[in-house]
Chain A
Amino acid sequence: MSTVESRIPNAATPTAPPNPGTEGTGGFRRTVVERETADNRLLNRVSALRDRTIDLDDDVRALHHQARDFALDERTTAAALRDPRDLLKALSHEYGLSWSAIARLTGVSPTAVRKWRRGETIAPDNRRALARSVTFLEIIGENAAPIVDIGSWLEMPLSDRATLTPLDLYTMGKMPLLIDHIAERLPAHAMLDEADPEWREHYDNDGAFTVVDGGDGHLTIIEKPE
């Protein structure tokens, strides 16, 4: 604050009101000039304050992400001590995730997850990836009052205009954006813009077809209505 004020030293000093009875036309002109000057000073001061706020917001945001990374790392380390089969079970039984979703969360093939499920040893890197996935979902749960079912949320599109889901963003390494979004610090489209400025083109909805209830117990693909 002091830095901003020192840039415009007189900005806070109120201008004396003109005396219309004694100044005449010259006085009126001077009054207008003084007011314009005061307006400009105010404008400059507000602009400077705003710039400073933006800078501050960027700094705080970066610091916040850094602090959260540290906290996430600590929690992941603690979670990695758990039996990896418990971590798998948490993802499938508590969050209701499919094996293909778990494979994507942990960055391995569906075959690898099938083998883990059948008792094959899990490599340390993958064990940590599992722990990180569980920790991420726990954090989402702690920050996400409006989300009733985190498992469903993870696989639902983030916008009507594209197919991108939270799971897609997680696999793109955009976990901090997702947490900001859940904590209502980042609107969905702003988050998608940050994740991929061309998300509207890259993850465009199918413009030709849509899926409806076929009436025979199954879903059906039909041409999109005009």
Chain B
Amino acid sequence: MAVELDTPSSIDGLYLERDNPIEPWRPVMTGDVFDGPTVPGCDEHSAVMILSHPCSLRTDGVQLVERVQALPVVPSIEIPIGGWKGNYRVMPLPDLRGDDTPYVAKLTEFGMVPAEDLDLHRRICALTEIGIELLQQRFFHNQSRVKVELPTLHKQAAPVFIEIELWTQWNEAYAEPRIEQGEDRDDVLKQEGYAFDQVMRRDLQNHLTMRDALKQERFHAEVRRQVLRATENH
């Protein structure tokens, strides 16, 4: 029996943003594509996709690790949606730059990229939650020949997905106005990142922080409500 990997429902279901560059309010996340850095030792390429697991991207909840795992992104032949079931060695990135050119991230050639080389001005793509799960499923399968179902991957990564979404809204509320008033973007994003982190460290209930509560599905909606309320009252 041939193993079939999962497919996105459409290209729109794969990409959260595909602008050039995408807005900096969303923290760097697995699946983001950056122009500029390259993975050492690979064939020629000019963009990379962040591969590091969402749970392993940061040291203290805010700062990126010194080096992140990344995949080279290269132009490719077109892989139709049905072709996602096979083509195990790549992550298809159809119409990545909005010019109808198909790209792929090569799952067989991952390496390390310095986090300081990830310039938010040159981030060209962010994946949806499903997009990130498809990337994980393909990479895990490529590395181990094990297929993990998307709902399982989602359940594991949901706490980080929620945190990134709330963090983005925090940045829109507080970092964006400060930067528009002329403050240094990187400094502001770092400061607001730590301010948001403090909210996630608050108790939702006795001895259960917002961040820890996210590990239980039944608290997801309540954490969102409370953090959004805190965002409004900050």
Residues of A whose CB lies within 8 Å of any CB of B are: 92-100, 109-112, 114, 118, 149-152, 155-156, 163, 205-206, 208-211, 213, 217-221
Interface size on B, residues (CB 8 A): 39
B149 to chain A, nearest CB (A): 4
**A209 CA to B156 CA in the complex, in Å?**
11
Given A151-B220, A209-B149: A219 and B128 interface contact (C-beta under 8 Å): no
A176 to chain B, nearest CB (A): 24
User: Which residue of the partner chain, among A93, A95, A213, contacts B215 with CB atoms under 8 Å?
Assistant: A213
Chain B neighbourhood of A210, CB < 8 A:
152
Given A152-B217, A211-B156: A96 and B148 interface contact (C-beta under 8 Å): no
Contact with A along B201-225 (1 / 0, CB 8 A): 0000000000110010111111111
User: Which residue of the partner chain, among B17, B128, B149, B228, contacts A92 with CB atoms under 8 Å?
Assistant: B228
A128 to chain B, nearest CB (A): 20
Contact between A211 and B152 (Cβ–Cβ < 8 Å)? yes
Report 21 cross-chain contacts, Cβ distance below 8 Å, ordered by A residue.
A92-B224, A93-B225, A98-B162, A98-B165, A98-B220, A109-B10, A109-B13, A110-B13, A110-B16, A111-B17, A118-B172, A149-B221, A151-B225, A155-B217, A209-B149, A211-B156, A217-B212, A218-B55, A218-B159, A218-B160, A219-B156
Q: Tell me whether chain A's interface is mostly helix, strand or loop, or mixed.
A: mixed
Residues of B whose CB lies within 8 Å of any CB of A are: 10, 12-13, 15-18, 55, 128-130, 148-149, 151-153, 155-157, 159-162, 165, 172, 211-212, 215, 217-225, 228-229
Given A152-B219, A156-B218, A211-B155: A96 and B224 interface contact (C-beta under 8 Å): yes
**A205 CA to B155 CA in the complex, in Å?**
12
**A141 CA to B208 CA in the complex, in Å?**
27
B32 to chain A, nearest CB (A): 15
Given A109-B12, A206-B148: A151 and B156 interface contact (C-beta under 8 Å): no
- 19 extra interface residue pairs, beta carbon distance < 8 Å, beyond A100-B161, A109-B13: A93-B228, A94-B225, A98-B161, A100-B130, A109-B12, A110-B16, A111-B15, A111-B16, A112-B12, A150-B221, A151-B220, A151-B221, A152-B222, A155-B221, A156-B217, A206-B148, A211-B156, A217-B211, A218-B55
